A and B are shown apart, each in its own frame.
Chain A
Amino acid sequence: MELILVVLALLAAATPFATIYLLWRQYKLRQQLLKLTELSMEVTDGLRRDLLDLKKQVETAAATPHTSAVPAAHKPIETAPAPSEAVLEKPGPVAPPPLARPEQPAVEKRIAVSQPPHRTEEKPAAKPIIPPLAVAPTEHKPSVPAVPPVPPAEKPAPPSPAISTQPSTPAPVAPKLPGAPPIPTSPAAHPPVVHPTAVRVAEPVQVAALRSPATSAPRPTAASAPPPRVTAQQRMKSVFAFEELLGTNWLNKIGIVLVVIGVASFGIYELGQLGAGFRVAVSYAVGAAFLVGGVFLEKRNRYRVFSYALIGGGWSLLFFTTYALKHVEAMQVMSSDTANLILMLVVALAMVVHTLRYRSQVVTGLSFMLAYSTIALSQDRVYSLPAGVILAIGLVAIVIKMGWFELEVFGILSSYGNHLYWLYRIVGPNGAQGRAFEEYHASTVILLFYWIVYRFSYVIRKPKTSVAEHMSTAAAIINTGLLLGAMKFQSVHPEMAFLALLIVGAAEFTFGQIPITRRRREAFVVLSVLGSALMIAAPFFKYSGNHLAILWMVGAEVFLVAGVMFSEVVFRRVGMLTGLLVALHLVFIDFQELMVRRRLNEDLVLDLGVMFALCGAVFYLNQLFIGWRWRQFFDDAPDEQLLISHSYIGGFAAACAAWALCSSDWTAIAFAGIMLALAVLGRRLKSFHLQVQYAAFGLLSLFRVAVVNLHSDIPQYTHVTNRLITLPIIAAAFYITAKFATTDERKDQQTLRWLFAFCGTGLLTALTYYEVPELWQPLAAIAFAVALLEIGQWIGYPALAWHAHLLTGLAIVAAVTADPQGIHNWHTIPWHALGALPVVAGAYWIARRIRVADAGHMNLARVFYSWAATGVMAWVIYEATPEPWIAVAWVAFAIALALVMRKIGYAQLAWQANAVAACAVVRAFTFNMDLEEPLWLYFSLRLATIAIVAAGLYFLSRAATVAGSESRRIVSYLHTFAATGLLAYLAWREMPTWLPAIWAVFAFVLAVVDRRFELEDLRWQAHMLSALAMLRAIGVNLYVLDTWHGVSIRLLSLSLVAVMFYAMSRIIRMPEGLRQRDFHHIYSWAASTLVSLLLWYELKPVSVAVGWAVFGLVLFEYGLWRKTKQFRFQAYVALTASFGRIFFSNLTAGTPGEFWGPRMLTVLPIALILFFVYAQLSEPDAQQDRAFRFDLLLAYLGTGTVAALAYFQFENEWIVTAWATIVLVLFAVSFVLDRPIFLHQALLLTVGTCTRGIMHNLFGASYFAEGNWTGRFFVLGSAIAALLACLPFAFRWRDRMKSKPSSNWIGAIVRHPEQFMFFSPVLLLTLMLAVKMRAEMITMSWGVEALGILIFAFMINERSYRLTGLVLLLASFGKIVCFDMWRGGWTWRDRYITWICVGAAMSFAGFLYTKYREKIRQLL
């Protein structure tokens, strides 16, 4: 079991790397392809440039006298006018003639091919006549790569049409007659002129290069054309490439791996009658067979990949068998360690030599990986470790020879992995943990040997590409990491960790400094950083406390200074990063210690204080001196950021030092002092980071003041000396810091200054709070506010006005909250009310005096202060007036404010009057309505006070408005509505039983009056009363069972309200826009609602749904007949309600076992009505309804009704089959009627069917019902069959919807229902097999299913189906490996037979994929 675990762990560990490797290989191949493309482009560009040169030469030659440049042989053609130019403009065929007909003279060849097929479309000569023959002799352009001269021997002139039509060459020359128009030549006459080979090679380039911008039509060239878009077919091909990779490559390899491990396990664990010799013979035979078979198949190109896997597997098995001769007990036939070692060396050498023949990493890697894995299966003695050493040496030799650096990563992982597994078996899962063991020294030597071998390999290599260098880097890091991990795991002397890390670090650092390494920058960096890191980490294992921080600090400074001196960025960064390490130590160790000591007492902490001060100084020195002196080293990221971080660390250390060296009240003073110093420095250096730091110090100081210096634990109004001394000092520090706080005039800088000044003000305010008595605080606060305002205006710093605002707010709060119990009174008036008067006066004073540059600010401040004064006055009235008359007094005060506003014209007073009136209304509703005391005759106190308030409101509706104001109408509305509301409420108190009818009639009367006199207020009040009547009817009168003269009051009142509403829907006056939008139909909706409610109350429960459906049907037909959509909409609501109702009554109605009972007889008519209404929606009058998707709603409701009926009508097990049948019917209906809505429903119901099948029939089935034939396969099988029966319709739907675009994934599903209808039943079938089959047969049944799917996929040419089969096959394999192998009751024999069989099966599948690869490609 353990061995299998190890093998699988190795496989699992190797798989990601193998995947990464394969992806990297793919990337590399792609890169090569891109390079080839670029090379091709360069060649093309070169050709284009050459041809442009040629054109220039032609033009130059054309400018010179022809007689001087043209040989005599060319003269007859010199006079060719337009055709000659056409030769230049269509020069594609210029080059081919020499290729095609070398026996022809150059001149004739050019003439012959200078007639392009479309020459007649070119304009006649507008340019000077250019004799092409004179300027482009072939021997002048021998360097054109795309048009190489083809020797006649390679291109023997076949009896091609080009040759046969050679006599026609004079025809193109014919247009040389001057003035003759171009003669259109038939296409049949031209193709023979162009040699096919030449056209293929040269035409595209030449056309693009010689096109004349002035004379040719624009045509995309190779350089300017956009990159071709990736088509769907290309994408499919790329996906297929993965499938092909999987099928033809990975299946083979996985299969071979399984077989090899299986055979090795057979040798180790076979416990039958077989002897060691026989096992060795079998193992050798299989290995040899693999090797021979691989060598044989390697000659056939098609099976090359397959053969590589065989060769690798064969060699690994041979090596393992050789190793097992001595080291595997069950196969031991040799006694000499030396002989076995020599044999292993021989086999390893042969393996290296032979696998290198193929120059394939697959062969070599597979053989080595399998050799490592098989050795790991049986490695149990220290003497068996040399096998790994031999493999390591061999691997390193191959890596250095071939440059397969990625292979070395596998080697490192395998070497250390094998060793760790060996250690694990010796010392256990937790490692040695200081316990000595016998093999310790041998193990250490072997580990160091591994490290040296791989480090040697790393140092001496010469990677040629950056990728190879990166891979080498990974190997280097893994090497050191695994060495340290293994050493830690087998650690016998933990105290030596310091020394080990120091030595290994020094060695790595030294390796990094030798010349051969320094020539490779990446190697230098890796080794230097690795060494530095180890050396820096080493002290951690020996030292602690201040020593560690100081040591790291020294190390950091050494590296930093060395980096500056030698201009080496690596050293500088190591130094600065070490500084961060120091910071971590300061934060998490030293600072914690300081906190602990400070919790004990406030004594001076000298040692920590000095250390923090020293660190702070050093870090500030790094940033302020080194960073300034050698600033060229720290201009870029991340050096700049690292150095800045040192500044912050310095700030942190300085704060800690201040805390350690100054105690109690003086810590805040120290913080404020550092803040002030940094502020001065920051202003001088204009440093943002220093600003951040002194701001942080300011916060620290404030925090300290809040916690310590305020002494809030001492009772208020008690004088504290330290507080009186320190708070003004700190406030002064803040005020001075505010002066230095800005570096420029930016807004954020001004904000920073304001904050510091505000802190000063806050400190003084706090001092006032603690020192001044309560009743005097409002006066003190308002006086301080006035003083700040005046001082700010005097010194020209108006921002202090904000401080005044806050202080005024505090004064108001202090005035209102002072003496809350009202203990101190003057007659009946409390003193705190009188104490508020200075606040009012101060507020009015500031409102008058405030002057700031921002007009908005000033106006807002005035508004605030006047409102504050009014509010305080209203509060005073509330405090002094008797309770029943408060509302009246407030209304009177509001009237007074309104009158004053009309006199002085300050609009804010009108708003204040409205606010006070609103308070009066609230008071009347909440207090005066409950006053039952009589006042005079029949008038009660409630009537009198509310009447006065209502009168005041009506008066204010006209008086408390600003003339010309936009809000005037709204204010008037509010007042009149409030008055009407008061009256309506009074009516409620008098006649509650008939209230909805009264309100409805009242609303109707208001609507009639509005219709007559056009009073807008009344109309809206009518709406509101109607709404209230409706609410009252539904909320109260619906439940009234009393009668009036034998008639139900409910029926009468609801009917009356319904009638009123139907009438209102006709007479109510509305703006035309609203009426066009059917707002008046709100009343008809309400009436229909009432009718529906009456149906609900009058009918039997099981009839209600039918009644609503019939009512909906009638409403719909009426709406369709009258073309009134609102009635149709009401019908939809009624039908929807009917659908919902069946779930609460109809679906559970009837007697069990009764098929045609009330359930069927009531639900089916509802479904019929729903489908009927759905069908009517195709009428033209219902177009708007379709826009709202009511047709979809009704169709879904109809189908949902049928599905729900099936749910309750059939037994639970059979619901899935019923639904699947509905799916089939929906598919048929959708296809016949051509209505996609039913297709959508079918897909949705398919989801439901599958979910139901999985959840209920599979996992929800009885635990003991598997023996029942219906419980096992028939029920779900019938559902699956029904779903699969939809496939013909689905494929036809796919064909029908091919032309329709899809914008999302839902659309894609709908366009490809055949996918959905395939995968759903396949999923169901797969899970059914998994759940219902016996455990041992699941994998086999899945395999059969996968095979069936693959056959089906090949039959109908569906790639997704084929992939499904493939995935299912892989899942079978994964299940065996991940689950079946670990089940109890399995013997080793079961396991390795399974491995071998599954491996063989995988390999066979891969073989099939390889064999039929072309056929699969054709399907694309």
Chain B
Amino acid sequence: MKRGIVFVVVLLVGVSALYFSQRRHESTPVTANAVVAIAADTQRDLTRAPMRLTRLSDREEITVGRELEQQYAIPEDRLTPEEHGLENYVRKVGNAVAANAHRRLPYSFHLVPDRSMINAFSLPGGPVFVGEGLLDLMTSEDQLANILGHEIEHIDHYHCAERVQVEARLRNLNLDILGSIVQIPLQIWEAGYNKDEELEADREGMRLAVLGGYSPYGAVSIFEEFSKLHSEYVIHARSPEEELSQLAIQSLEGYFRSHPLPSERLAQANAVIAHEGWQDRKKQKPFRVEYEVQNGEYLK
């Protein structure tokens, strides 16, 4: 009898949970994020110790970064005056933000003149690249400062350097040989980092932006933009077979792109603001690019 009562209670709890989950309006996507997060977390933890013990020196990192920068950077003479102005704007904000980084590296900032590129990435040793598509999303300079702070912190916290080490090990590259590093494709740098590192870059990037005189709410507003984009583009599986196929794809891709969800990044940004007491720094500067063209020639 007692067992029966307990069974009924447990059954009711289960059925209630079922009812609750069925009644919930928010749809929960079926993703491999949990497994991927565990795997990526484990992989990162397993590689972090050897990476720490065999870390590149700053000089080596800068050398590698410069070599990659020469490969990816667009020469100034191939930029339009508008793009040139945008790049200068990015450079100005980036230098203000990078002034307070932990490591004194030769940070440099470049524009990728591609409106379809809603992304930014950084290279070891200091180079930072921002896609023009991402700049199109921005409405304030503070957003740009937070994004650049995020990318600078990827460099500052050795995320880029460790990626170089991992890729060199996987591809059996000898970093001492000039030119070997160019075998690492661009997609590796655009792919981003794992969840921990992204969140760390978000936190520390906000700190850099604030120290550079910008509002942390720039991060909040840009993450809200990302969240909108994510909800528009994310695919919700409608059947188990779609779930399985989506899981397979995510398991393969997601392992290498285990970005945190925008909602998580947004939540962390709000938590950091509350923790640091930055609630009064809401005012943001407008996104204003200054340039002048006369007779097709860039003047200012």
Contact = CB atoms under 8 A, between A and B. Distances in A.
B170 interface: no
Interface stretch (B32-40, B56-64, B109-117): B32-40
Q: Interface SS of chain A: helix, strand, loop or mixed?
A: helix
B31 A1255 contact: no
Contacts of B20: 1158, 1161-1162
A1165 B30 contact: no
A1021 B261 CA distance: 53
B6 A1143 contact: no
A1106 B158 contact: no
B240 A1147 contact: no
A1148 B34 contact: yes
Interface string A1103-1131: 10011011001100100000000000000
A1106 B21 contact: yes
B258 to A, nearest CB: 12
A1097 B24 contact: no
B13 A1145 contact: no
Contacts of A1254: 49
B14 interface: yes
A845 interface: no
A1076 interface: no
A939 interface: no
Contacts of A1264: 102, 156-157, 204
Q: Interface SS of chain B: helix, strand, loop or mixed?
A: helix
A1172 interface: yes
Interface stretch (B86-94, B135-143, B264-272): B264-272
Given A1144-B35, A1263-B158, A1117 B7 contact: yes
B241 interface: yes
A1263 B239 CA distance: 44
Nearest to B203: A1262
B196 interface: yes
A1212 interface: yes
Interface in B42-60: 42, 44-46, 48-49, 52
Given A1172-B7, A1259-B45, A1106 B17 contact: yes
Interface in B11-26: 11, 13-18, 20-22, 24, 26
Interface in B242-274: 243, 247, 261, 263-264, 266-268, 271
Contacts of B267: 1151-1153
B121 to A, nearest CB: 20
B200 interface: yes
A1256 interface: yes
Contacts of B13: 1165, 1168-1169
Contacts of B29: 1101, 1145
A1256 B33 CA distance: 19
B7 A1256 contact: no
A630 interface: no
Contacts of B6: 1172
B10 interface: yes
Contacts of A1137: none
Contacts of B288: none
Given A1147-B34, A1168-B13, A1152 B21 contact: no
Contact of A1260 (B33, B196, B247): B196
B224 to A, nearest CB: 13
Interface in A875-922: none
Contacts of B11: 1110, 1113-1114
Contacts of A1152: 261, 263-264, 266-268
B41 interface: yes
Contacts of A1151: 26, 263, 267
Which of under 10, 10 to 19, 20 to 34, or 35 or more describes the interface residues of A? 35 or more
A1096 interface: yes
Contacts of B52: 1259
A1113 B8 CA distance: 11
B17 A1100 contact: no
A1252 B38 CA distance: 11
A1094 to B, nearest CB: 10
Given A1103-B21, A1109-B14, A1169-B10, A1144 B240 contact: no
B119 to A, nearest CB: 22
Contact of B22 (A1100, A1172, A1176): A1100
B49 A1162 contact: no
A94 to B, nearest CB: 76
A1113 B14 contact: yes
B189 to A, nearest CB: 20
Interface in A1317-1339: none
Contact of A1039 (B24, B33, B156, B241): B241
Contact of B14 (A1093, A1102, A1106): A1106
B202 to A, nearest CB: 13
A1101 B237 CA distance: 9
B48 A1260 contact: yes
A1149 interface: yes
Interface string A1170-1199: 001000100000000000000000000000
B34 A1144 contact: yes
Contacts of A955: none
B172 interface: no
Which residue, A1117, A1147, A1262, has most C-beta atoms of chain B within 10 A? Answer: A1262
A925 interface: no
B80 to A, nearest CB: 39
A774 to B, nearest CB: 53
A1099 interface: yes
Contacts of B295: none
Nearest to B247: A1144
A1113 B10 contact: yes
Nearest to B14: A1110
A1208 interface: yes
B54 to A, nearest CB: 12
B41 A1100 contact: no
B18 A1208 contact: no
Interface string B59-89: 0000000000000000000000000000000
Contacts of B28: 1100-1102, 1145-1146, 1148-1150, 1158
Given A1096-B240, A1113-B10, A1255-B46, A1161 B34 contact: no
Contacts of B294: none
Contact of B17 (A1150, A1161, A1172, A1204): A1161
Given A1168-B13, A1176-B3, A1263-B158, A1100 B241 contact: no
A1207 interface: yes
Contact of B18 (A1093, A1110, A1142, A1172): A1110
Which residue, A1096, A1148, A1149, A1254, has most C-beta atoms of chain B within 10 A? Answer: A1148
B27 interface: yes
Contact of B240 (A1097, A1110, A1169): A1097
Contacts of A1208: 34, 37
A1260 B14 contact: no
A21 to B, nearest CB: 36
Contacts of B48: 1255, 1259-1260
Contact of A1103 (B3, B22, B271): B22
B289 to A, nearest CB: 33
B15 A1256 contact: no
29 contacts: A1099-B22, A1100-B22, A1100-B28, A1101-B30, A1101-B237, A1106-B21, A1109-B14, A1113-B14, A1143-B34, A1145-B31, A1147-B34, A1148-B33, A1148-B37, A1152-B266, A1158-B24, A1161-B17, A1161-B20, A1162-B17, A1162-B20, A1165-B16, A1169-B13, A1169-B14, A1172-B10, A1176-B3, A1208-B37, A1259-B49, A1260-B49, A1264-B156, A1264-B204
Given A1100-B22, A1149-B28, A1162-B21, 5 more contacts: A1099-B18, A1110-B11, A1145-B28, A1260-B49, A1264-B204
Return the 9 tightest CB-CB contacts between A and B, nearest first.
Answer: A1255-B45, A1152-B267, A1259-B49, A1102-B28, A1165-B17, A1103-B21, A1110-B14, A1149-B28, A1147-B34
